[in-house]
Structure 1
């Protein structure tokens, strides 16, 4: 039976100095449920879901997959004395491979290790031991004469940005992914001339995008460590499979990520062909997003994971997935994706306003883009979702020429629509609904509390620049906090009389006129914005303010 050495953060291999050790038993257990905050996301950026996700069966499947990955990278072919470390991120029971490294090279041959013996006890114990709390696990594998000894420790650190948070029964590698890996392996192996009875080292960087691996490897360096190079080792049968097996586990992550790999090629005297091994591979941590983009990045990762999870299960279901997401969630997903994939520059020619706002506004940009989405016809929203889901799951390079052209056309139509008056009732009603919700729940909850249930219904949320004139200010958010004011029904009636004068006497007001009229309304009615209103004390003053405002607006309109 396989002898397991479960090391509980006191012995075994040394941890990375950048992480603090944590007793494994203390780290086990469930997370405290995240508090819900905002509209559609938890405080940690995870999606709020109507039902729990990730069953015990899924957690067991995660553990079984990890055991298989340990076996395929190291266990099936290791020599006595060989040692490896594997680092995984645990989150919610999901296990994401971060890196592995051969720490000691083995020598000679020992008794063959059978898969059943390697996996039996480890698979049975692992899903219980890892728990669901966010942590990094380090496996150590040491090859004895007859069996592998396996140790486990945990090191504390930040959750990896590309880690999954929902355990899944993942399918095997798809045909396209295997094809990607074979193509990359073909680039790596012929690039190195392996000397007869020699050894070489090679480093390269690979790009993963969603569920796919980009097929252009970036070769970093190549070194002949042994052998003269006067004669090359033979090729013969396909030597790529060990490389492919080492690359495939890194596809089980989220988003765009870069993996640096180190390969060793050896030709041993008396053997017909060389051996190639990936002796180290590390997922590089992305740079921290600018502070203004932190919220976008966090919520975007949650959307990415949901898309990939459904895409793995059934593509058709993924196409309908957006139907259960709020417009806010969709906006965070699009904006996060446009920024993370670096496509804003390519979009500037067809959608300059969209690019300008999204490139500098962070979470406010996502809120602005939500108002753009609501103005987009349902058929165009569905087309955008379909195209962008494919880009998320398989990368931008997977989009066919027709899909790329369709994406540009959709964004161009959005840009045009920003300068077109909002006329459909659904869009206007939805914008007013969001404005009221955000005003009282996000911007001025104290006022809502002071009003109480009885008076809250009598208070209106007004757009300083009305919805009907939003097209004159395409880069501004019609529902931005600075454009929303709460006021009593009586005050709102007086303010509306000003805009009714505009509506009935000026068909083509300019942006400058609208800004001046908004300034006039703020000047005369601002004392009643965001406060409790007492009609017994303010009735006469309100009537005087309305008359004065109407006179000034009439002068602006030349009446």
Structure 2
């Protein structure tokens, strides 16, 4: 994917596209990650058609595509533009969680074995939750910077904060989600990318959760 994106895809872009050009205009590896995650939002038949046309471009170049194939590929980019702005279904969230876990193993091979052995005890956390993927249509929800490994009990503390946030902010903006994620990160980063408790901490994960909750309440009135 990255190689094709690097050559430029201007001929497949069409009027009305906003987020797809932004996503694919990034560094090839980042653009390829976005495309992998975005394609999962299409029905299986559309995914298959896209991959067939994409493979043809990769092997033979875009000049070999027929007029009908070019129009089909443009149409699929339009479909991507639509689906990346829609909330994720429960089954799609599960699929993206599984992908995130496999990607994390590649990012941190030193943790690959322990992630296999302790799947339930070491979840992979999305710093900006999957719940809000549609608010960031040009971002790969499974990008490296959005993923971290956590102990299960720490993940539960963070999830409880997001539950409170959702109740207080049922329709948040992208900026509000970013702000909440930054606040939570600020209190829990010592536990990120660790299989054990960090040494020398002045507070427990429960105390970090209480401190994060106090700050969230200051920024988001009505948060209980």
TM-score range, shorter chain: 0.7 to 0.9
1:470 and 2:137 matched: no
CA spacing shift, 1:454–1:383, aligned 2, 3 Å? closer
- Identify the residue that residue 3 of structure 2 maps to in structure 1: 336
Query: What is the CA deviation profile of residues 287-340 of structure 1, one whole-angstrom value per residue up to 9, with x for unaligned ones?
Result: xxxxxxxxxxxxxxxxxxxxxxxxxxxxxxxxxxxxxxxxxxxxx2xx534544
1:428 and 2:93 matched: yes
1:515 and 2:189 matched: no
- Identify the residue that residue 399 of structure 1 maps to in structure 2: 66
Higher relative strand content:
1
* Equivalences for residues 334-413 of structure 1 within 5 A: 335-337=2-4, 339-340=6-7, 342-347=8-13, 349-388=15-54, 395-396=62-63, 398-400=65-67, 402-413=68-79
Distance 1:510 1:394 in 2: 40
- Identify the residue that residue 218 of structure 2 maps to in structure 1: 555
Q: Which runs of 4+ in 1 moved over 6 A?
A: 535-540
- Identify the residue that residue 106 of structure 2 maps to in structure 1: 442
Instruction: Output the TM-score relative to the length of structure 1.
Output: 0.36
- Identify the residue that residue 81 of structure 2 maps to in structure 1: 415
CA spacing shift, 1:453–1:539, aligned 2, 3 Å? farther
CA spacing shift, 1:460–1:557, aligned 2, 3 Å? same
SS in 2 for 1:476: coil
Unaligned runs of 5+ in 2: none
- Identify the residue that residue 488 of structure 1 maps to in structure 2: 151
- Identify the residue that residue 309 of structure 1 maps to in structure 2: none
Indicate if the aligned counterparts of 1:435 and 1:479 stay in contact, CA closer than 8 A. yes
SS in 1 for 2:42: coil
Distance 1:495 1:356 in 2: 31
Residue 454 (structure 1) shift: 5.0
CA spacing shift, 1:382–1:437, aligned 2, 3 Å? closer
Distance 1:356 1:506 in 2: 28
CA spacing shift, 1:532–1:407, aligned 2, 3 Å? closer
Residue 349 (structure 1) shift: 2.9
* Equivalences for residues 70-89 of structure 1 within 5 A: none
Higher relative helix content:
2
Distance 1:380 1:549 in 2: 43
Instruction: Output the TM-score relative to the length of structure 2.
Output: 0.84
SS in 1 for 2:164: helix
Residue 509 (structure 1) shift: 0.4
Distance 2:116 2:65 in 1: 52
- Identify the residue that residue 504 of structure 1 maps to in structure 2: 167
Unaligned runs of 5+ in 1: 1-331
Between Structure 1 and Structure 2, how many residues are aligned? 221
CA spacing shift, 1:343–1:534, aligned 2, 3 Å? closer
Residue 405 (structure 1) shift: 3.2
Distance 1:523 1:475 in 2: 24
Residue 494 (structure 1) shift: 0.2
Residue 476 (structure 1) shift: 1.6
- Identify the residue that residue 190 of structure 2 maps to in structure 1: 527
Residue 524 (structure 1) shift: 1.1
SS in 2 for 1:459: coil
Residue 527 (structure 1) shift: 1.2
CA spacing shift, 1:452–1:373, aligned 2, 3 Å? closer
